[in-house]
Amino acid sequence: MTTFDKREEGFEKRFAIDEELRFKAHARRARLLGLWTAAKLGITGEAADDYAMSVVKADFQEAGDEDIFRKVKADLEAAGKPASDTEIRAAMMDLLGKAIEQIKADL
């Protein structure tokens, strides 16, 4: 194996690790967003955990963040507790940072 091959293999492994961490961070963010939304909806305990899991599952509907954004926005509006797009997107950004910190702490 040449130095170039070893280097290429190293880059491929690093890419795979980075992608796995990115996936975990987005899944954790979806869960945290679900808990954030549950608190706004007045849902607590096991029901809040169940709601958070429904947000995580919604994240698999399509690529990107719009699927969870739409779910959270629709659920808040349906409960008569609407939040602005800016507030939800800001929470998503903040919670992504929090999720990344948590995952790094778990390593």
Q: How far is CA 80 from CA 9, 23, 73, 76, 97, in A?
A: 53, 32, 11, 6, 28
CATH number of the domain at 3-106, please?
Answer: 1.10.790.20
The pLDDT tens digits of the residues spanning 12-24 come to: 777 777 788 888 9
Strand ranges (E), 1-107: none
Q: Is the pLDDT of residue 4 over 70?
A: no
Predicted local distance difference test score (pLDDT) of residue 1:
65
For 86, the token pair is 């800016």
The pLDDT tens digits of the residues spanning 33-74 come to: 999 999 999 999 999 999 999 999 998 888 889 999 999 999
Tell me the whole-structure pTM to 2 decimals: 0.84
| Rounded Cα–Cα distance for residues 107 and 60 (Å) | 25
